A and B are shown apart, each in its own frame.
Chain A
């Protein structure tokens, strides 16, 4: 039997709260983290079709990190540091007691250091002074800057990887961390998902792709509405989630509190289209099935799905089609929730937030509401979706995550009391 992998610590930076207790309370209360974008100074706001986002307003790293720690990295990596710090403390994971080369860091990030990236590119092209490009530009925009700074901060010398598969990045980070521990190359892995790219260029790019919600600019908290008939695109969010994964034996030895087991994972490609999913849902169904098989559970044992559910017209419908394909009559018995209805689409952080939500659901039996489900779309209706919080006994949770580049991931968590 392969090594069991467990989650022992959680950390969150999100538009509805920094810190797991704040985040989870807000999630169960169904609070929206979506607000209006009132300025992209100096760019004219009318040039942006969408003007809503799940932003973390007023964040400064000094509030959460020792002086200087977040100074030389971009906003997304600052989020990563804050989330990792909380998760390590939550797990009571002390590096001084660990063999450093047995502790890895795996980060999922879709966009990376775009705040500085955009600023430096703009300055170079406007001022045409190449010698004035900041010396820290390359280290900051290099996509593994977050996994690097987390490892440096804590002295984690094991496998240090960054996975960038757009919106599914940190679901793969979870899965790859599970693989590393199963393979015996690490006792523990600090898993982080992070992105902070609600920046003038990236946001404009998603507008041009016509992927974002544009109908709710005057009522931002209504814009992210997965599975609702009125959905019209996703809402960009930002944030980070961190999870400490350990082998069961390692966690048990140090008497760690265990939230849940990371029991299965699947990674597939639809090999279909850069941004459009296969409409029949078959590839998504296969991905879920492979993850369940890896976890040694049957579809009949699944209680809860944390859906990818970005609030796009086709995406949500495809996901439900896939759920129906795989789960058949059980599809309507599953509890389902869409975390993006609360915080928007945090891109690289999304999978890690889904992991945190699922771990908390497995330990508490509480399922956060899916916001704005005012008029459920028959094309993607599931009986277990609710605008109200639910309480159900949950032993097996399934996380879906899909990314541009025809990328799919599914992760299975199991309750340890199962």
Chain B
């Protein structure tokens, strides 16, 4: 079972690597865009790394709730929770919880294409 702290450390380290800055300077309250300066494309790149670290596929619709470091941690923690928790809860609860705090989408469908 993955502990919250493990998930948290790994995510903060992944973010630190991506941003090329000291992990100690990244806080769970940091907003990905406003505090860490990630644009929507950078959020997608960062989540791509996190998907690899935790062997996850994050559906597009879950991105809406992922705007702060803490939300990303809570989401991933929910997704990697032990099978005791129902799969449905694991899949949806974190995103819902994270979505309580409304914020600009990190999103996604903003491409010029």
The answer to the question of A102 belonging to the interface, with a C-beta cut-off of 8 Å to chain B, is no
The answer to the question of B87 belonging to the interface, with a C-beta cut-off of 8 Å to chain A, is no
Q: Is the interface of A mostly helix, strand, loop or mixed?
A: loop
Interface residues of A in 272-305 (CB under 8 A from B): 273-277
The answer to the question of B40 belonging to the interface, with a C-beta cut-off of 8 Å to chain A, is yes
CB contacts (< 8 Å) of A369 on chain B: these are none
- Which residue of A has the minimal Cβ distance to B51? A208
User: Is B113 a contact of A312 with CB atoms below 8 Å?
Assistant: yes
Interface residues of B in 76-99 (CB under 8 A from A): none
CB contacts (< 8 Å) of B105 on chain A: these are 313
- Which residue of A has the minimal Cβ distance to B39? A276
CB contacts (< 8 Å) of A166 on chain B: these are 112-113
With the chains together, A407 CA to B112 CA distance in Å? 9
B interface size (C-beta, 8 A): 18
User: Is A208 a contact of B112 with CB atoms below 8 Å?
Assistant: no
The answer to the question of A310 belonging to the interface, with a C-beta cut-off of 8 Å to chain B, is yes
**Complex interface bits, A35-69 against B, C-beta within 8 A gives 1, otherwise 0:** 00000000000010100000000000000000000
Total A-B residue contacts, Cβ distance less than 8 Å:
84
- Which residue of B has the minimal Cβ distance to A313? B109
Q: Which of A2-10, A226-234, A375-383 faces chain B?
A: A226-234
CB contacts (< 8 Å) of B109 on chain A: these are 210-211, 231-234, 312-315
User: Is B59 a contact of A214 with CB atoms below 8 Å?
Assistant: yes
User: Is B110 a contact of A274 with CB atoms below 8 Å?
Assistant: no
With the chains together, A310 CA to B111 CA distance in Å? 9
User: Is A313 a contact of B108 with CB atoms below 8 Å?
Assistant: yes
With the chains together, A343 CA to B60 CA distance in Å? 23
List 5 contacting pairs A-B, 8 Å CB cutoff, sorted by A.
A211-B109, A314-B111, A315-B112, A402-B112, A403-B112
Given A210-B60, A234-B111, A273-B41; 19 other pairs, CB 8 A cutoff: A209-B44, A209-B111, A214-B61, A215-B60, A233-B108, A234-B113, A274-B41, A275-B112, A275-B113, A277-B110, A277-B112, A310-B113, A313-B105, A313-B107, A313-B110, A315-B109, A315-B111, A315-B113, A404-B113
